[in-house]
Amino acid sequence: MLKKRWMVGLLAGCLAAGGFSYNAFAKENNENTQTASSKTGALTEQEAESIAKTVVDGTVDDIDRDIYNGKEVYEVEIQKDGEDYDVYVDINTKQALNDPLKEKAEQVAITKEEAEEIALKQTDGTVTESKLDEDDGAYIYEIEIKTKQGTEAEFEISAKDGHIIKQEIDD
């Protein structure tokens, strides 16, 4: 009987010591985690907006979390001078990963007026809408024409070389 009491006492002591050790470790681990996250800090939408506006100074339309080139980012949609630009800000490094104004300058070789002339050579009419758009990294002009016959025609024209990517003319 004495042996059982001794074993029960020993077991209770071990459990108590283990509980204290676990508690101390959990508290220390939690403090380390909090210290690490306060040093790095998660990127907020407001910070992402500020960083993106250093790349494209315009009006922010939308901010979403996304994946860009395998990295977790905030995708910040900015409107400037009537055009939309997407700036990707890395959540971990807090750096802008792209410069859409520079990319545009490198990829846009023809003007909107030149693109409209190319479309008007395909069908007589009046341009009702014309805008530059970025689609999967390539810039295109989207042009809508009201034809002399009263129908509509839509064109997508490469901003890099002026070739017609898509042409739809209603009958």
pTM over 0.95: no
Residue with tokens 């792209």: 98
User: 35 and 49: one domain?
Assistant: no
**pLDDT single digits (tens) 89-100:** 999 999 999 999
In a domain, 136, yes or no: yes
- The tokens describing 7, both together, are 């074993």
User: 36 and 53: one domain?
Assistant: no
In angstroms, the CA 6 to CA 124 distance is 103
Instruction: Determine the average pLDDT of the residues in 32-53.
Output: 71
**pLDDT single digits (tens) 6-34:** 555 555 555 555 555 554 444 444 444 33
- Domain count across the chain: 3
Residue 24, SS3?
helix
Yes or no: say if 53 and 33 are a contact pair by the CB < 8 Å rule.
no
In a domain, 103, yes or no: no
In a domain, 153, yes or no: yes
In a domain, 34, yes or no: yes
User: 144 and 162: one domain?
Assistant: yes
User: 88 and 51: one domain?
Assistant: yes
User: 23 and 53: one domain?
Assistant: no
Cβ neighbours, 10 Å, residue 61? 12
Long-range contacts of 68-73 (CB under 8 A, 24+ apart): 68/97, 68/98, 69/97, 71/97, 73/97
Mean pLDDT of the chain: 83
User: 154 and 117: one domain?
Assistant: yes
User: 112 and 157: one domain?
Assistant: yes
In angstroms, the CA 131 to CA 115 distance is 10
User: 32 and 77: one domain?
Assistant: no
Q: Print the domain residue range for 129.
A: 108-169
In angstroms, the CA 159 to CA 45 distance is 32
Task: Return the minimum-mean-pLDDT range out of 6-10, 50-54, 55-59, 152-156.
Answer: 6-10
**What is the structure's pLDDT at 134?**
81
Encode burial over 87-107: b for 16+ CB neighbours within 10 A, e otherwise.
Answer: bbbbbeebebebebbeebeee
User: 55 and 94: one domain?
Assistant: yes
Q: Does 148 have pLDDT greater than 80?
A: yes
User: 68 and 35: one domain?
Assistant: no
